[in-house]
């Protein structure tokens, strides 16, 4: 890559982003973007590579699109936001990105510092109204690094440093604020392509720690492996399968954020770890911030716990009391591979013992698969159940599609088998994520079928008009399923769990949970050039899914099914 000539700091920023592999700037622009827009036009006219700047109708959607893009590609992108007000709208998305360890570069303008005298000085009343003493304070707890661009010659160093920190394990978002006068200022004319800083290399735990973990696994009689968000890449899932098979480990995915283990594998023991946790003599926690719920179960006395991951102690969570008798910090895939080698060596010649354990796990696997099937079948009536929706969707899309779920369908019903085919909202729970994240994934791979399954409340949080406009503007034909039960069901369930015999449980209508009257969600998609249909009868769902998928695949239009489901 050759050195590039630039004229302003804004141009230097755009060129540096492209040099570092940033293909998209998901932007919701404001008055602070003037030098960036000018730079985009001049550089494009000069055939200088720059990121594709996409106008995104809401900041939450912009951040979630960068989130979804990274999940399916592993390539971080940039988000452009308007001063403090745009940054405020983006904070919820950054909460999710931080919780999910997703790298991205958040950029926002900063109201001009000077009142007169410089190109880019204040020229509108909002430039006084939007000034803050510490704009980054609203997100400093969420990002790994933040800074304000002060001089144009800093651009290459700061972009390189920001991205190096964002992508070093454990990954996460970073933030750079951009005063308008600095973006307008003249920059060094030649921008060298070589990076000033690169990400930290993935590490491996000490060999002695891996050997000790292998000893524990080999001696355990009732081992259990719990995963929550590993397996985004094929190599990660393959390494986990290899370890599970070597040691005959039951694998449970508790509240999975990403698929970690093939659901059809006979060692997959389902999605509820608590019965096995109560009986385990060893638990291996694989990149699971919340491996089990202490209110439901805890390991018995004497049970050893191994924590494995890039950040096995989950340092960003202030209070987290899960035990960790042995901590394996490092690249999860390489650590799993090393552990599989060491365990296989120790268990050589113990095939009868392992076969008995595999048979027992196989019975657990068959039981949860049968229970899921029966639950789905019982929900095929009117109104249908969420379980029935999941089962029908799984049959309709096959193994190829990628599903983004947010309080939508149960992973036990979808039973995904391939890495990168299932993503759910981060445990931070910032709602409105799945629909725009699916848009980002579709942008990353336009040939792949992408589905968003969301509850009706999550759909409203997603700023659906903005999301469907984004889909139409960028030719992103995703399929959206809105599971409408007419209420904030998570709030209702939480109230019943805390006060099962209370007044709220006996009330005809629980306060603060209703979403009546129900909007016509299908009409919102149709208003943006998409296809929509409302379905209440479960028997009609397979046909409606087939038609929606035809629209997506053949007409290349977005489609939405508004599904009325039972609470």
pLDDT at 517 over 90: no
pLDDT for 152 equals 96
Q: How confident is the model at residue 503 (pLDDT cuts 50, 70, 90)?
A: confident
Q: Which is nearest to 538 in space by CA: 376, 414, 371? A: 376
Name all domains of the chain by residue range, CATH numbers in brackets.
4-191 (3.40.50.970), 207-367 (3.40.50.1220), 379-564 (3.40.50.970)
pLDDT value of position 354: 97
Total-model pTM: 0.96
Does residue 270 carry a pLDDT above 80?
yes
pLDDT mean over 447-467: 97
More confident residue, 510 or 541: 541
Q: Please state, in angstroms and as integers, the Cα–Cα distance from residue 456 to each residue in 383, 409, 552, following that order.
A: 15, 12, 21
What percent of the chain is modeled with pLDDT above 70? Answer: 99
- DSSP-derived secondary structure letter, 383: S
What is the C-alpha to C-alpha distance for residues 490 and 457, in angstroms, rounded to an integer?
10
pLDDT at 504: 84
One-character DSSP codes across 126-166: HHHHT--S-GGGGTTTT-S-EEE--SGGGHHHHHHHHHHHH
pLDDT reading at 129 higher than 80: yes
Q: Return the pLDDT at 1.
A: 59
Q: What is the mean pLDDT of residues 130-135?
A: 95
Average confidence (pLDDT) over 538-554? 98
- Specify the pLDDT at position 510: 83
Query: For residues 335 and 285, is the Cβ–Cβ distance under 8 A?
Result: no
> What pLDDT is recorded for position 400?
85
Whole-number Å distance between alpha carbons of 54 and 56: 6
pLDDT at residue 512, rounded to an integer: 83
Average pLDDT over residues 28-37: 96
Q: Give pLDDT, residue 516.
A: 83
In angstroms, the Cα distances linking 218 to 207, 257, 366 are 16, 29, 25
């Amino acid at each position: 890559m050759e050195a590039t000539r630039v004229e302003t700091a804004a141009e230097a920023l755009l060129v540096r982003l492209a040099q570092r592999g940033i293909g998209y700037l998901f932007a919701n622009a404001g008055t602070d973007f003037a030098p960036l827009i000018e730079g985009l036009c001049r550089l494009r006219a000069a055939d200088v590579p720059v990121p594709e700047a996409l106008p995104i109708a809401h900041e939450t959607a912009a951040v979630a699109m960068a989130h979804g893009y990274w999940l399916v590609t592993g390539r971080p992108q940039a988000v452009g936001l308007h001063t403090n007000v745009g940054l405020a709208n983006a904070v919820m998305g950054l909460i999710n990105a931080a919780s999910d360890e997703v790298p991205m570069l958040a950029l926002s303008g900063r109201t001009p510092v000077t009142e007169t005298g410089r190109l880019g000085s204040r020229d509108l009343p909002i430039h006084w109204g939007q000034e803050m003493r510490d704009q980054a304070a609203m997100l400093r707890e969420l990002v790994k690094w933040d800074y304000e661009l002060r001089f144009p010659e800093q651009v290459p160093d700061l972009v390189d440093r920001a991205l190096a920190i964002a992508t070093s394990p454990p990954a996460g978002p970073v933030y750079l604020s951009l005063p308008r006068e600095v973006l307008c200022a003249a920059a060094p004319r030649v921008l060298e392509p070589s990076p000033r800083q690169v990400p930290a290399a993935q590490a491996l735990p000490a060999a002695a720690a891996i050997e000790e973990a292998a000893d524990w696994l080999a001696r355990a009689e009732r081992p259990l492996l719990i995963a929550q968000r590993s397996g985004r890449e094929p190599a990660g899932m393959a390494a986990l399968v290899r370890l599970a098979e070597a040691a005959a480990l039951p694998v449970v995915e508790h509240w999975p954020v990403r698929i970690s283990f093939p659901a059809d594998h006979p060692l997959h023991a389902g999605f509820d770890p608590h019965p096995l946790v109560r009986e385990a003599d060893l638990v291996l926690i694989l990149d699971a911030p919340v491996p089990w719920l202490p209110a439901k179960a805890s390991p018995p006395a004497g049970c050893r716990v191994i924590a494995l991951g890039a950040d096995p102690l989950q340092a960003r969570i202030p209070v987290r009391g899960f035990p960790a008798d042995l901590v394996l910090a490092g690249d999860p895939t390489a650590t799993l591979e090393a552990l599989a080698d060491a365990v296989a060596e120790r268990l050589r010649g113990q095939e009868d013992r392992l076969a008995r354990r595999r048979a027992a796990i196989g019975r657990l696997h068959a039981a949860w698969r049968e229970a899921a099937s029966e639950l789905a079948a019982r929900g095929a009536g009117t109104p249908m159940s969420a379980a029935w929706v999941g089962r029908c969707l799984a049959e309709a899309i096959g193994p190829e599609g990628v599903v983004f779920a947010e309080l939508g369908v149960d992973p036990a019903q979808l039973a995904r088998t391939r890495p990168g085919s299932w993503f759910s909202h981060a445990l931070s729970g910032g709602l409105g994520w799945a629909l725009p994240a699916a848009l980002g994934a579709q942008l990353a791979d336009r040939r792949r079928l992408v589905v968003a399954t969301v509850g009706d409340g999550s759909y409203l949080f997603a700023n659906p008009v903005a999301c469907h406009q984004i889909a139409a503007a960028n030719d992103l034909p995703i399929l959206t399923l809105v599971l409408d039960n007419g209420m904030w069901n998570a709030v209702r369930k939480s109230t019943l769990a805390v006060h099962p015999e209370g007044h709220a449980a006996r009330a005809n209508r629980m306060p603060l949970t209703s979403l009546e009257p129900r909007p016509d969600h299908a009409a919102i998609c149709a208003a943006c050039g998409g296809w929509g249909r409302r379905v209440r009868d479960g028997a009609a769902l397979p046909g409606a899914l087939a038609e929606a998928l035809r629209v997506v695949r053949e007409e290349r239009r977005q489609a939405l099914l508004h599904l009325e489901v039972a609470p």
